Every structure is written in structure tokens, then in C-alpha cells.
Structure 1
């Protein structure tokens, strides 16, 4: 079967400073990227332990890049902007590695929603959501269940809020926006490998996440006043920092 892994950088063990993630400078984020590769490889190992014929696609979902393709031991690498969304129905399950909690989550290290510098919150049909729910919903609409998440403890709780049956592996325990108690690299990878294998075996027990139904009312609030270019063409400002989008097409929301 085919499996999809969505990766991000903020949720891996050893990362608890934005200077490690908001940069293109390898001197600052190089070790974080190496750890993301280790954790992604551990997830792949777990999947292949459960399914020896597994084919894996790995999405680099970090804005400035979180993975180097050559660091992956197995699987096909693709940047999120280049991912062919029409291929989603071909995947048996969706796995998250390196995931962080949504913006505003108490004691969640490096929590944010898409932009750590601009976005105060996203809300969909009255529910606050982060990156996990946004992509899990899109996958679920294509029949693909979100079955696994590795990241900090607050990200794991967020995933369980939306998908109670999901398997998780905690890499660190948050103590603040830039503070956490971390597992060692080896211990984080061991936990991920074990939980990912369990998730792959349980794919048939975890239904696709399709909590949100059209019509969609999406609301985004920013930290700073919106420039004219900060409101999507299909958006409508409701105050100087907030806009809404009302649509029946999920693909028209700003997650893509």
C-alpha cells in the first residue's frame, strides 16, 4: 500500500527556539533538519515493519525547508508546494512527523498556525484549527485517514481532540512558547518507530476525518493590521486584522 507522511520542523526533539526554524541558514537549523530526517526515517521503518511492501511519499511541509532528500533512507520526497493533491486517494493512511500545536495553545513549544509571524488564529465553521486539522480534513475528504502523529505533547493532544483513535508519539513536553523537556534523539525515534508500526496495522480501525462539512465559513485573524495584499481575493475583511471566506469548496481555503 501507499502511505503519506507530512513533515514539519517545529515538533521534533531538540527544537524549542524559533531561530532553529524561521531561517534558511543551515548553521541554525541544520541539526533540527537532521533530527527531522531521523524521526521521519523511524516513521518509515515502523510503517515498513507493519507492511513490508509499503511505498512511502514524504512531504516537506516546512516553509523554509525541513528535510534534505538525501537524508531519507527510503521514500519519495516532495515539497508541499509541489505535491499533487489529486493523488491523495491513492494513499492508505496519513502520518504526521515533527508536528506542533496550533497558535495560542498554552505551553505549546513553537505553536503557530501556518505563519508564526502573522497568524493569530484560524477558525473553520466556528472551530479553532491548526495545521493538523486542516490537512487531516483534506485527506479525509479523499478517503485517507490520519492515523499517526509525532510531535510535542500539546500537538498530540490536539490530534486526539480531532481524531480520538489516532496513534501518537511524544518527542518533547512543552513548558512554554520556547521551552520544552525533550526526549533524546534515540528515544524519540524509538517511540516513533513503535507507534508508527501500530498505526499502520490499525489503518482499518481509524476512520477518515471529515468533521467539517460545506458550506465553509473560514475566519483568519492576524497579529497586525492587514495590508490590502493580506486578504485573499475570495476573502472579505470584517475588521482591520480579520477576514472571512465563505465557500462550498474546501480547495478555496488558504491551506494550499
Structure 2
């Protein structure tokens, strides 16, 4: 691909099962780099401003203590990292493998330096290969990111590795409503309206907002996610549906 050419767009064939795409990691990285500038706006508009409430609910599940060291994986533009700061965590780290997202996150957090006493650092890292020592983190979080990882089970094992004993993992991810009626209505919006309006807002040419619903619809269901946490060695794994089940917060103890 030439340096100035746009990243390849997701095709209908790719999206039959985006998780099986042989170049998923590279495509996801390029996709998020392309939509970084309008990412927060699209999140607010298309969740009807619920995305921040979901993050706050996820943080509450973690029972943050002032001395907790928090690692927010696939942190994107840093919204969840910021939510942990606001909850009182004094030591927060955000990790992501998309540099334009990290740039935005860093700007947002620098703007808060005078208002919140906190040490925040951002680092470029892959969720499956975190540059963090064993048993060194109190809380690992990932919001709307586990679905984009090439091997979610490997990432969850990595979360287990870096957590201290009794450390907490929190996974926030899109889900599908249990009610058939709600699922049908939500499907019309999620699969047909959102891709068009989000693409228009972001001027996206990668197919990012076609990928979004397809990656959710073909991802692991809640029972499999709970089992994956247990298989990695976590205990007390729970799932809390949010906003009629369109999102879910998973929480477990190392």
C-alpha cells in the first residue's frame, strides 16, 4: 500500500466473519487510525450518550481504591482511563496499538492535570503482549476492545498474568438484547442506520462502521465469555447487562 493511500476497506466477503480475517489485527489498527478524529463524537451520538454511563457503571463494579494501579487495555481515546481517574485511582495506564488514538487520549488527560491528582501514562502495546511485569496491576480493564483482538482468550490470559492476586478484570463490550422484540428493533438501528450516519460523520472509507455491527453479531456470547474468564483462572466471573442488554460489563477476580 502506498504511503498516502487509504487503508483497504472491509468488503462484504470480509465481513461474513471479520474475526476470521487473516489480517484482522492490521486492518483493525488501520481502521481505528482512520476514524480516530471523530471517534468520540460517533460514540456519543450513536449510543445516545449512554457510552459514558456504561463506562461509569463498569468502573463502579471494580470498587476502585486510591492506591490501585489500573491498566486500561485498548484504551482508545482514553475515556475509560479517565473514568478510573475520576473514580479516585491515582495510578492509571492506558495501552493501545493505534497511535492516533493514543495522541487524543494523551491530550485529554493532560487537560485534567491541574484538577485531578493522578499519575497517568499511555503506552503503545498489543493486548496479547503487554509490556508489564507479572503480578503488578490491581485492575485491568478493556472497553469495546476484546472483540477487536485477534485471540480474545490469549488477551484474557495476559490480563491474568499481569494482575496481582485478588486483582480485578473488567471487560465492557457490546452485546445483543435478550428480548426478541428489542433485538429486532435494535438490529434495524445497529445494522442499517448506524453504519450510514457514523460513516457520514467520520467521512470513513475503511468500512469501520460496517465492521462494527458485524463484529458484534458474530462475537462470543455471554456464556462463552464467562467460560473464557474461568478457563484463564479467574473466579467470581459475572456479567451485568446494561441498557436493555445492548452492552455488558464482565467482572472477575484473579
- TM-score scaled by length of structure 2: 0.33
Structure with more of its chain in strand, by fraction: 1
TM-score by length of structure 1 reads 0.33
Q: Normalized per residue, which structure has more helix?
A: 2
